[in-house]
Amino acid sequence: MMHNPIRNDKGIALILVLLTVSVIVVLTLQLNVSSRAQVHEAANLSDGIRVLYIAKSGVFAGMGLLSEDRGDADTLNEAWARTEGLREQSRDYFDGGHLELIIEDESGKININKLVQGNAFNPGVKGALSRLLSQPEFKLQGQEVEDILNAIKDWIDPDSVVTANGAENAYYQGLGKSTTVRNGPMESIDELLLVRGISPELYRGTPERPGLSRFLTVYGEGSVNVNTAPKEVLRALAPSITEDAANRMDDYRKNPANSLTDPSWYRRVAGLNNTAIDAVTLVTRSEHFQLASTGHLGTMKRTIRGIVKRDSDRKLSIVAWRIG
């Protein structure tokens, strides 16, 4: 039987056309997918930059609040300490985004570096830290508290002598880690995570207990602002300050009718007229503040943390800055 060459050519041509169209469709789909991915990546990059700048704007807003504060004492009644409303207000300034800002007074915390004087414990600060760690919320036994304080002392003091159940380089090297004891003042409170006995749960806190990092600092000369100290720190300042007494102190200082310029105001609180706080020096003005600003945009968020120092002229300088 003879084949019709014309019909065969037409069939081959049709197959070639179909193959060509199929290749074009596949390439077009691939190009479309690639283009959409690039657009998505570009959008994510753009949103990432936007959310970072929202967070940065919160830091600058916080610095503005601190520099404009002209009170005779730093208290929890001032604008810098009450930034909750900024969340909703900021929605008017950022299209689809908002920010959250928390300002903490570092001067209201206990300076961990003051635990050591020379090669020995500073007895006043040791007493305050012991009372802090012994509070039921931290769920530590008496020996655990003592061991932690010894390990912190060994981390800070300049010698290499182990303090009781403390820890010097031999202990950390025995763990197979490259950790080296600083033998000097901590540069960041995060260093506590390297110290024997300080677990991430103890440091950062859990739903069942607060984080130790909220109450300690490495900034300042060791004095504590009694106007802004967390209630846990108030309880640590003297053996006679119970949880109930700390609550009464907190109520007193939050009453705007009460003067808080004199650090001995706590003696006017019921039941504390004979209480003496001498573990640390008390003040009512602060120098160092921590700002934590979180920018939100859709499902994205970025946090910037900074430590600022405010001088007597209310001028601010950035001491530390960290994203994340």
Q: What is the pLDDT of residue 314?
A: 86
Q: What is the pLDDT of residue 95?
A: 87
Q: CA–CA separation, 103 vs 98, rounded Å? A: 17
Per-residue pLDDT of the chain (324 residues; tens, 9 = 90+): 444 554 556 566 666 655 565 555 554 555 555 545 454 444 456 788 999 999 999 999 999 999 999 889 999 999 999 999 989 999 998 888 999 999 999 999 999 999 999 999 999 999 999 999 999 999 999 999 999 999 999 999 999 999 999 999 999 999 888 889 999 999 999 999 999 999 999 999 999 999 999 999 999 999 999 999 999 999 999 999 999 999 999 999 999 999 999 999 999 999 999 999 999 999 999 999 999 999 999 999 999 999 999 998 889 999 998 997
Q: CA–CA separation, 255 vs 249, rounded Å? A: 10
pTM of the full structure:
0.84
Q: Helix 142-156 crosses helix 123-133 at what angle (to 10 degrees)?
A: 140
In the DSSP assignment, the letter for residue 240 is: T
Q: What is the pLDDT of residue 45?
A: 62
Strands annotated E in the chain: 97-105, 110-111, 116-117, 120-121, 216-217, 224-225, 282-283, 288-297, 300-310, 316-323
Neighbours of 71 (CB within 10 A): 13
Q: What is the pLDDT of residue 71?
A: 85
pLDDT digits (tens, 9 = 90+) for 124-174: 999 999 999 999 999 999 999 999 999 999 999 999 999 999 999 999 999
- CA atoms within 13 A of residue 103's CA, in its CB half-sphere: 29
Contacts of 121 (CB under 8 A, 6+ apart): 115, 149, 153
